[in-house]
Structure 1
Amino acid sequence: MHPVLRDAWTTVVPDPADRHGPLPPLMLALTMVTGLVDAFSYLVLGHVFVANMTGNVVFSGFAIAGAAGFSLTASLAALAAFAAGAVLGGRIAHRARAHRGLVLHLALAQETILVLAAYVTAQLAGPAYGAGTRYALIALLGIAMGVQNATARALAVPDLTTTVLTLTITGMASDSKVAGGRGGKIGRRALSTTAMFVGGLIGAVSVLHGSPALPLLLAFVLLVAGTVAALTLTRSDADWTSPL
C-alpha cells in the first residue's frame, strides 16, 4: 500500500497498539463538527466564528476599522465564550488526566449538551434571530468549541487538532519531498483537512438549501455517536489511555 494511503488508513482504522489507540478517528469526527458549527455561525449569525479564533481576532480589527458586516461585539463575545469553554475543557482534562479515554468522554458529553442547547435555542427562535438569540447561540457554541479545542490539546493526537488547520497544511507542504522532507503524515493531514472541508460544505448546503439550524442537528448527531464511542473507551486499560 502506498505510504500516503497507509497513513490515511491507519488514521481511520488505527492500530490498537498505537500510542494514540482509537483516538484518531474520533478526532476526525470532531474536525467535521467544527466545519458544521462554523458554517452555521458564519452564515447564520453573521461574520463571526465560534471555533476559529484567529478569524475573530482579524474580524475585530475589521470592525474597528469600520468594515461593513463585521461586529466587534460579536467577535469579542465569541472570543470570551471560547476562552470560558477552554477553561472548562482544561479542568476536565486535568481532573481526568490519568485516563485519556475518560478525558474525551467527559468533554464530549459537555460539548454534546451545549450543541443540543444551541440547536433547541435556534429552533425555538424561529427563522429570524434577534440580538438575544444571536448572542446566546454564540455563547453556547463558543463554549462548546472551547471545550473541544482544550480537549484536543490535552489529548495531543498528532495532526488532529480538530479546529486549526494552518499548521496541518504547513506540515503537508514543508515536510513534503518537494521541500526536501520525508513526506510523512500526508495522509492523516489530508484527511483532517478534508474532514473540515466536508463539514463546512455540508453545513453551508444545509443552511442555504435546508434549515438554518440543520448544521447544529448534524453536529449533535456526530457528537452523540462520539460520546457513546468514547464511553466504551473509558473501560480500556491499554497503553494509549495513559497520559502523554
Structure 2
Amino acid sequence: MTTTRGHGPLPHLLLVLTAATGVVDAVSILGLGRVFVANMTGNVVFVGFAIAGVPGFSLAASAAALLGFLVGSFLAGRAVGLAGGHRGRLLAGCAAAEVVLLAVALLLVSLSSGTPVLVGAAALLACAMGGQNAVVRALGVPDLTTTVLTMTLTGIAADVRGGDRAQAVRRLLAVLSMFGGAVVGALVVLHAALAWALLLALLLVLVVAVAAALAARGTAAWHHA
C-alpha cells in the first residue's frame, strides 16, 4: 500500500502527522476559543461568525490563526526551494520547526490562560499547520494531505466502485488517523489539561522529525521522486 508508489516511509509519517493534526484541532477548538488552526475553510467561516457578533467566537483568535497560517505557508514555501528537492530533509525540517512552534505554544498555555496568551497560542499553532500544509503539498503523496479531509472523503465515496483498493485503504487510514487524534485530544483536554494535549501533539510531531531525519540519510529513490 505504501512502498510500491515510490514514496518510501512518507505515507506512514504523514499518517502520524494527520493524527497530530486531530489533536491540535481538539486543542484549538476546545481550549483556545472555537478557532481552527489547521482547517482554514472552517476558520474563515468562524471569522464571519465573529464579525456577525455570534456569541462564543473570537475575532482576534480566528484572525490571528488565519495570519499565522499564511505566514507558516509562506516560510515553508521558501524552505521547499532551499531543500533542493530532497523530500526526506524537507519533511524532517518541517517537523522540527513544528516542534519548536508547538513547544512555545505549550509554554504559553502552561504559564497563563488569559485571552492574549490563547490568541498567541492559536497563531503559533496555525503557523505550524500552515507550514505543514505547504510542505505536504510539495511532497506530493496522494490522498495524505494531513490537514483537510474533504477531498479524501469525496474520493472514498466517488471511487467506491472500480477504484484502487490500496488507494481506498490509504484514504480510510487518513480519516481514521484524524478521527483518532481528535478523540484522544478531546479526551485529554476535557479530563486532564490543555497543556497535556499540546504535549501529546508535540511528541507525535517529534517522532516524525526524528524518523524523517533518519530516513533522509543515504540515497533512496523516494528522496527525489
Aligned partners of 2:96, 2:189: CA distance in 1, in Å?
25
Aligned partners of 2:57, 2:85: CA distance in 1, in Å?
43
Give the alignment of 1:224-239 within 5 angstroms. Answer: 224-239=206-221
Report the counterpart of residue 200 of structure 1 in structure 2: 182
Q: Is the 8 A contact 2:64 2:120 kept in 1?
A: no
1:70 CA displacement: 1.1
Aligned partners of 2:14, 2:25: CA distance in 1, in Å?
17
Query: Which stretches of structure 1, 4 residues or longer, exceed 3 Å deviation after superposition?
Result: none
Unaligned 5+ residue runs, structure 1? 1-9
The code of the aligned residue for 1:57 comes to V
Report the counterpart of residue 35 of structure 1 in structure 2: 22
Range moving further from structure 2, 182-191 or 43-52: 182-191
The code of the aligned residue for 1:118 comes to A
> Which TM-score applies when normalising by structure 1?
0.88
Q: Is the 8 A contact 1:172 1:183 kept in 2?
A: no
Query: 79, 98, 111: which is aligned to 2:85?
Result: 98
Aligned partners of 1:45, 1:98: CA distance in 2, in Å?
36
1:97 CA displacement: 3.4
SS of 1:229 mapped into structure 2:
helix
Aligned partners of 1:104, 1:201: CA distance in 2, in Å?
26
> Which TM-score applies when normalising by structure 2?
0.95
The answer as to 2:132 corresponding to 1:148 is yes
Cα-to-partner distance string for 1:104-138 (whole Å, 9 max, x where unaligned): 1111110011111111111122xxx1122112101
Aligned partners of 2:84, 2:154: CA distance in 1, in Å?
30
Report the counterpart of residue 172 of structure 1 in structure 2: 156
The answer as to 2:34 corresponding to 1:47 is yes
Q: Is the 8 A contact 1:108 1:148 kept in 2?
A: yes
Unaligned 5+ residue runs, structure 2? none
Aligned partners of 1:215, 1:36: CA distance in 2, in Å?
7
How many residue pairs align between the two structures? 224
SS of 1:19 mapped into structure 2:
coil
Report the counterpart of residue 224 of structure 2 in structure 1: 242
Range moving further from structure 2, 54-63 or 167-176: 54-63
Q: Is the 8 A contact 1:28 1:162 kept in 2?
A: yes
Query: 182, 191, 197: which is aligned to 2:163?
Result: 182
Report the counterpart of residue 7 of structure 1 in structure 2: none
Q: Is the 8 A contact 2:88 2:212 kept in 1?
A: yes
1:183 CA displacement: 4.9
Q: Which has the larger radius of gyration?
A: 1
1:72 CA displacement: 2.1
Aligned partners of 1:66, 1:86: CA distance in 2, in Å?
29
Q: In structure 2, do the counterparts of structure 1 residues 139 and 154 end up closer, same or farther at CA, with 3 Å as the change threshold?
A: same
The answer as to 2:194 corresponding to 1:212 is yes
Aligned partners of 1:18, 1:187: CA distance in 2, in Å?
14
1:233 CA displacement: 1.8
Aligned partners of 1:198, 1:238: CA distance in 2, in Å?
31
The code of the aligned residue for 2:146 comes to T
Cα-to-partner distance string for 1:172-231 (whole Å, 9 max, x where unaligned): 000111xxx425411110100000001100010001111121111001111111111011
Aligned partners of 2:81, 2:215: CA distance in 1, in Å?
18
